[in-house]
Amino acid sequence: MSRDWVHWHQEYDTPGSSLDRRLEVVRRELRKALGTSPAEPDGTRRVISICAGEGRDVLPVIAEHDRRVHALLIELDPVLARRAGETADDLGLSRVEVRTADAGEADAYLDVPPAHVLLACGVFGNISAADVRRTIAALPTLLVPGGIVIWTRARGDNGTEPAQEIRALFAEHGFTELSFTAPDDARFRVGMHRLAGAARHGALSGRLFTF
Ligand SMILES: C[S@@+](CC[C@H](N)C(=O)[O-])C[C@H]1O[C@@H](n2cnc3c(N)ncnc32)[C@H](O)[C@@H]1O
């Protein structure tokens, strides 16, 4: 990992910062996803967050909205993973598992049942275009049919919009766009897509991405 991701999380603590605003959008979309995604017959849902950081998006939302959610947070940095685990404990979320693991390695998902909702926030801007493509192509393997992905991507420094390519890739891989939030006065973009095509349940192999 090339960046200090513990330090990166500090921007969340500045009210009105871009990251704070992005968090509000991601939480809003997650609440919607938990209300509209498929669920198990008993009403429970599985959520996977790849590169989950401190889990600031997932944990408070499931604590407020649906404590029955089984959430798997995969985070490589042990400090951040520990913080996520502590927050889950503080919130009394017994169905949250935080794994300190490499989410870019296909083997990380070997024993993971397909999710109803998957978050890929703060991922696509930190990996190569080829890895973005590989990761989006792999998502139908990680989801139930109709499963929902929430993702983020920042606008480029030079005014480019890499999120447009990501939206196109989701369409190419059988997803329907549910929402795309792109405020004029902020660089963050948040997309939400539903898997409309077939889920592809089989083993993933190799590497999906490297930060
Ligand atoms: C931009 S932050 C996003 C964190 C969180 N998803 C959020 O939006 O608040 C990227 C996170 O990915 C983690 N990370 C980097 N490489 C990873 C990998 N191979 N597997 C799992 N996590 C990784 C970093 O430690 C960092 O917490």
Indicate the number of domains in the chain: 1
**Which of 9, 149, 211 maximizes ligand 1 atoms within 8 Å of its Cβ, making it the mutation to test the pocket?**
211
Tell me whether residue 134 is in a domain: yes
- The residue-averaged pLDDT of 71-96 equals 98
- The per-residue pLDDT for range 185-211, each reduced to its tens digit, is 999 999 999 999 877 877 788 999 999
Residue 206 lies in a domain: no
The answer, yes or no, to whether residue 141 has pLDDT greater than 90, is: yes
Q: What residues make up the domain containing 146?
A: 5-195
Beta strand extents in the chain (DSSP E only): 46-50, 70-75, 96-100, 115-120, 143-154, 175-181, 188-195
Distance CA 28, CA 49 (A): 16
Residue 156 lies in a domain: yes
pLDDT at position 1: 52
**CATH number of the structural domain spanning residue 113:** 3.40.50.150
Is the CB of 77 inside a 6 Å radius of any atom of ligand 1? Answer: yes
Instruction: Answer yes or no: is 108 within a domain.
Output: yes
Query: Could you report the per-residue pLDDT of 36-62, keeping only the tens digit for each?
Result: 999 999 999 999 999 999 999 999 999
210: in domain: no
